[in-house]
A and B are shown apart, each in its own frame.
Chain A
Amino acid sequence: MRIFAENLSVKRGEDLIFKDVSFELVPTESLTISGPNGVGKSTLLRALAGLLPIDNGLFEIQYDETELKPEPKPNAEYCHYIGHKNAMKAELTVLENLSFWQRTMAQDETVDEDLIMPPEAAVELLGLTHTLDLPFGFLSQGQRRRIALAKLFVSYRPVWLLDEPTAALDKSSSDNFAQITNRYLEKGGIVIAATHVPLGFKEVKQLEMTPPPLNESFF
């Protein structure tokens, strides 16, 4: 499996957000996207997740001939996406939230069972077992973020798209998350993360996004 992006550009309305973004990733590799605010990091991740149309360029998840070719499906279905928002309901408990997502995200039966955890194990992995029966809304920002990250483990997707995953996390939790992510990478995962702080992932490729030169007709 290989992720391949070439000369991507995305527009919102008439405005070009970024152009000519290219990268290539194989399993066990991760990519961190950095750059100043507003340069289009989140936009890029949303476009990769299929939530925004790609204006130009190519984004593909390719399979080698030696590999068992799965049924072709949209790129989005290979991906976990953790955006700025946590995608959890404040009124439901942590356990209810996570089991809902586990049941909603269809599982690929060919996947190793040890890559999919029950919600309890996923929460334990992030050190929040005591919050299982609390409503999500009662948790602190950092705890909420960790629960949102626990969603990555209750169902399996080969590609993770993370938008500032460690925002609001304290030092020890983000170190813990880096460790877990590295273990996942060793098993053949791919991580694409937008971030301002070093995340401590292994096999890191860097993508530095720079703001496009201002269009002269703009003035």
Chain B
Amino acid sequence: MSLFWRDIKLSMRSGGGALLGVLFFLAVIAVVPFAVGPDLNFLQRIGPAMLWIGALLSTLLGLDRLFQAERDDGSLDIMLMQETPFILTVFIKCAAHWVATGLPLVLATPLLGLLMNMDLLSIGAVSATLLVGSPAITFIGAVGAAVAVTLPRGGLLVSILVLPLAIPVLIFGVSAAYAAVEDPAPFLPPFLILCAITMFFAVIGPLAAAAAIRASTD
């Protein structure tokens, strides 16, 4: 638990980058209307998809430092030597990372939804799907971050490694968000699958990340 608060505190301090993700998210969404033109109906239609893509990319942005920063200053070694199972340590780090970088994205979504001319229901749907979907991206990203922990320029590699695995999250997230507005499609099934994906990766992610880090110590 002390690790959780330390990581939150670190992300708030200088160079922590808690708000970097939100700024990037804002930048991506803000340029979309300029790129696709002032067609309000069109913006409304692509809104949920754009928000999801923006959130996905922003989440991936800071993930590569998740373990690398710990490795660079030697903290990772000490954590590996403790009684606390390392899987649990990884899980707590992911949770803290999500609260510091993922949650602000969810909170910023309503505001950015207005930029995309979305109505209230659709904004609510996107926020809800991001709330349950974005932790999955963090957990998947943790595996990538763990694999790339020894690489000096792992940032882009992490994104590329992680993106294919994050596609299902994107598909079900966006389809649930659309289902809330378009009448015939049901909202609940894709939403529940999204929840299931998140819970699945909450277990598999830390497991794989812990194994990858243990294998890469040198």
Q: Which residues of A contact B (CB under 8 A)?
A: 12, 46, 49-52, 73, 76-77, 79, 81, 83-92, 96, 99-101, 103-106
The answer to whether B10 touches A49 (Cβ under 8 A) is no
The answer to whether A106 touches B74 (Cβ under 8 A) is no
The answer to whether A84 touches B74 (Cβ under 8 A) is yes
Residues of A within 8 A of B83 (CB): 73, 77, 106
The answer to whether A92 touches B218 (Cβ under 8 A) is no
Give A83 Cβ to nearest chain B Cβ, in Å.
5
Q: Which residues of B contact A (CB under 8 A)?
A: 1-3, 6, 9-10, 13-16, 72-75, 77-84, 217-218
- Chain B contact surface mostly: loop
A76, A84, A100: the one contacting B80 at CB < 8 Å is A76
* Chain B residue at minimal CB-CB distance from A53: B217
Residues of A within 8 A of B80 (CB): 50-51, 76
Residues of B within 8 A of A88 (CB): 73, 75
Contacts A49-B81, A106-B82 given; indicate if A91 touches B217 (C-beta within 8 A): no
Residues of B within 8 A of A76 (CB): 80-81
Give B5 Cβ to nearest chain A Cβ, in Å.
8
Residues of B within 8 A of A84 (CB): 74
Contacts A51-B217, A91-B13, A91-B16 given; indicate if A106 touches B84 (C-beta within 8 A): yes
Residues of B within 8 A of A77 (CB): 81-83
Residues of A within 8 A of B14 (CB): 91
The answer to whether A49 touches B3 (Cβ under 8 A) is no
Contacts A73-B83, A77-B82, A100-B2 given; indicate if A92 touches B74 (C-beta within 8 A): no
A-B contact pairs, 27 of them (CB 8 A): A50-B80, A50-B81, A51-B81, A51-B217, A52-B218, A76-B81, A77-B83, A81-B78, A83-B74, A85-B73, A85-B77, A87-B74, A87-B77, A87-B78, A89-B6, A90-B73, A91-B15, A91-B16, A92-B6, A92-B9, A92-B10, A92-B13, A96-B6, A96-B9, A99-B2, A100-B3, A106-B83
